[in-house]
Structure formats: C-alpha cells, structure tokens
Structure 1
C-alpha cells in the first residue's frame, strides 16, 4: 500500500488508524487516477459513496480494491452504493449494509436510493488487539428533511443495539458525503455525539473536484477516539480533478490500546 501508513503506536498511547472517505461517482471517471490517489493515501480504511452496484459495473469495486491492496468488507445493493474497504492491518469483526427509506419520487423527479455500510474492527498493538471500533459510510440525500431523518434512524439503531456500530461504544466514526456543509441540520444533529476534527470551517472544500467550493464530505469522530490529524489527501492535483467529482477527506485517528 505504500509508505504512508504508520503501524507503530503513538507516543501518547493511541494506535494509529488512517481513514479516507470519498464519493467515487460510480467509478465512471478516471479509475487509474482514483487508484493512484488511494495508493498515495495509504489508508487502513476507505469509506466510499456511489460505489457501483449495477450488474454491468459492480465488478469495478473489487477490481479497485485489489489494485490498491484493499479488500471489500461492506458493500452491496442494499447499501445504495456505500461501501467500506479495509487494508490487511485491521481485523474485521462484523460488517454489513443497510437500506434507508426514500420515496420513489419527489415531485416529478426520481429519488436516489440511500443506505449505509458499516464495519466493526480492531487494530493490532504491542499489547494485543484494540477494543472494537465502529465505522459507518453514509451518503445522505439532497432533501434536508430526509438527511436529518436518516441520521436519527441510524442513531436509534445504534442506541437500540441493532447496528454493527452498537458494539463500539463511543469509539465510532461516521464518514461520507453528507450533501450539506457544517451548518446543516443533519451535521448539527450528528455533532451532538460526534466531533468534526475540522470544526465548522468551510475549508478544505470537497465539491466539485475541479473547483471545490463546498465542504460537504466529512469524517465525524466519537469521543472514544483521538485525532492526530485531518484534512486533505496528499496526492497529485492532476489525479484529484479527474478521478471523480468529489475530493477525498482524511482523518488520522488514534485508537485506545488493549
């Protein structure tokens, strides 16, 4: 995967876990450039949105994962294009995808399906495996009310112990294309229990990729995890503008040791 991943424990006691989130636009753009960016990112976890699920294009996702030294751990049509790819380093304890309810039509326009992909994992350290960490990839909708409703539904599942993330306590991450900035109602709801390492800043913008103006993609982190750094993925600008229509976001997390 490259030299960017640091498997050594942090001097402060946390085990490093690098996560990247990216809307990949059905893998319909420059897939070679996209793979180069992921290789440069050297992430332990990659949360995707708009991964292809149609019969004729679904094979693009495992091909991308293989090219980047990753494995597909959560994906499928029920997740509506959300997916989680994992490097060989973490140990995946559970994984799955779930659909979120949407109407077939809004006005005269069809509504895109929505869902989430979830994994429960642990990372190795000198004292053994870490406590479980829950990671959710989401792609929220274009309607503000729908976005808030989906965030509430997912939190209710966590609280009821009915989701993969339920076994992680406060060691959770929600990452994805939220289709709204930090000022949005869904983001404000999520930040009642999660924090955005970048705060309410509008930069670095993530959409559209060629001339980013809005920060609608985010990695939100629970109180049980530390954050060493967060922001953009260091990759050639020429690849970032052709790989897909969003820019990726990165978070270097610190997981409590065993």
Structure 2
C-alpha cells in the first residue's frame, strides 16, 4: 500500500427495522458514528421510496448511492468524501409465497482507492437462504475490485449461507468481536449480521455498537468498522 498504508474508510452496516422504532435515535446513532458509507437493510422499498430514502440519507448527513426498491430494501449511502462511479441492483429468484430479496452494489473511490460496496438481506427461510447466498456470492466473486460487504444473513457463522458469503473474505468481527451478538437488541442471542472485506483490506477496528441509543433505534445492533483500503500504485 501507499498513501500512508492505504485510504481510510469508516463503514456502518445496519438493519434499521423499516424505521419502526425511534427514528430520532436512529439518526443520532449514525451521525455519532460519522461513517463514510452506510450499508442499510430494511430501507424504504414501497410507495414514495425515492423520497423516503433521500430523507433517511439526509437525516444521517449522507446521500443515496444505490438501492431502494430495485434492490428490495437494500440501500447504500455515502458521504461526500466518497465518489460513486457505478451502481447496480440484484433481485434473487422468487419463491412463491415468500418476500422477495435482493442486493445493492456501488463501485466507489476514496482518494486513490477503488472498491465495491455491497449489501444484502437474506431470507428468514432456511431453504431459500443458500440459493440467495450463492447468487450474491457470484456477483461478489466476479468483481475486479476489493469488496466491502454488509449483510443481514438471518443465520449465524455456522450456517451454509454465511459460509458461502464469507468464503475467501475477512470477517471483520473475527478479531475480538466474534462472540458479540447483533440481534435482537432487547435480548441479544444471535450474530446474524456480518461485515466482510477483501483480504487486501485491513480491518483497523470493529465494533458491534450496543448503547442505549442503538437499543431504541432498531431491533438490530449496527456494525461499525474502520478500514484501510489498498491504493493503486
């Protein structure tokens, strides 16, 4: 790496429970974290979703990069420090009678570093999750950029879908936080939210943010990581 061992990036991955909880607390949590990018699950995806997504981003002091309805509630937000180069959305094959799921992607640049930001929210149905994880992983594996991935996987690290997504990537929680549960806030008992990065990316710090505010803001705790991205020579 150059430029003082890489470009810094602060990432927040957060299932916001469709804003059903304390929205003032939610905004305060994100603003206090001061992230460069936020990977959101359960973002606006229905009527007036564009306006609602923009309002959500503004409450965080950020802007919308990608996602929303086309990604079925997965939303990528960025600060003005991050330049968004290209975006795309993905919808997983629909199982009749189930909720549709998808993913959002944004090719980004910070300083001299380029990376792919990706977010997804897998099914609560254990029969559906492995296929969705495989579809998500194919997109990640095809990327020619280092990836930063946030997802609500609806299962823990022992599950097949989790292993599929995590394969070949660094679990940002592995160093010191692998035993920290992310759900539900009222009685945490499971780690179903993950943040994964390309091995070329350095995880400087990671936290599952458990505070009085986060317990009011959503039913999931947010994941917060400080990263160092590789800079092209």
Same fold (TM over 0.5): yes
Q: 1:232 aligns with which of 188, 192, 208?
A: 208
- Kept in 1: contact 2:151–2:194 (CA 8 A): yes
User: 2:167 corresponds to which residue?
Assistant: 192
User: 1:212 corresponds to which residue?
Assistant: 188
> Residues 54 and 214 of structure 1: is their aligned pair in 2 closer, same or farther, counting only changes over 3 Å?
same
- What is the RMSD of the two structures over their aligned residues, measured on CA atoms? 2.0
1:43 aligns with 2:30: no
Q: Deviations over 1:184-233 (max 9, x none)?
A: 11111222211212239653211111221111111011112111111223
Aligned length: 230
1:54 aligns with 2:30: no
User: 1:136 corresponds to which residue?
Assistant: 118
Per-residue deviation, 1:123:
0.6
> Residues 15 and 57 of structure 1: is their aligned pair in 2 closer, same or farther, counting only changes over 3 Å?
closer
User: 1:4 corresponds to which residue?
Assistant: none
1:87 aligns with 2:94: no
Q: Which runs of 4+ in 1 moved over 6 A?
A: none
CA distance in 1, matches of 2:204, 2:83: 21
Per-residue deviation, 1:10:
7.8
User: 2:89 corresponds to which residue?
Assistant: 97
Q: In terms of mean alpha carbon deviation, does 138-147 or 30-39 score higher?
A: 138-147
- Kept in 1: contact 2:67–2:73 (CA 8 A): yes
Q: TM-score, normalised on structure 2? A: 0.91
CA distance in 2, matches of 1:81, 1:218: 17
Per-residue deviation, 1:158:
4.4
* Larger gyration radius, structure 1 or structure 2: 1
> Residues 58 and 91 of structure 1: is their aligned pair in 2 closer, same or farther, counting only changes over 3 Å?
closer
- Kept in 2: contact 1:202–1:214 (CA 8 A): no
> Residues 76 and 57 of structure 1: is their aligned pair in 2 closer, same or farther, counting only changes over 3 Å?
closer
- Kept in 2: contact 1:41–1:233 (CA 8 A): no
Q: In terms of mean alpha carbon deviation, does 13-22 or 54-63 score higher?
A: 54-63
Q: TM-score, normalised on structure 1? A: 0.83
Q: Gapped runs of 5+ residues in structure 2?
A: none
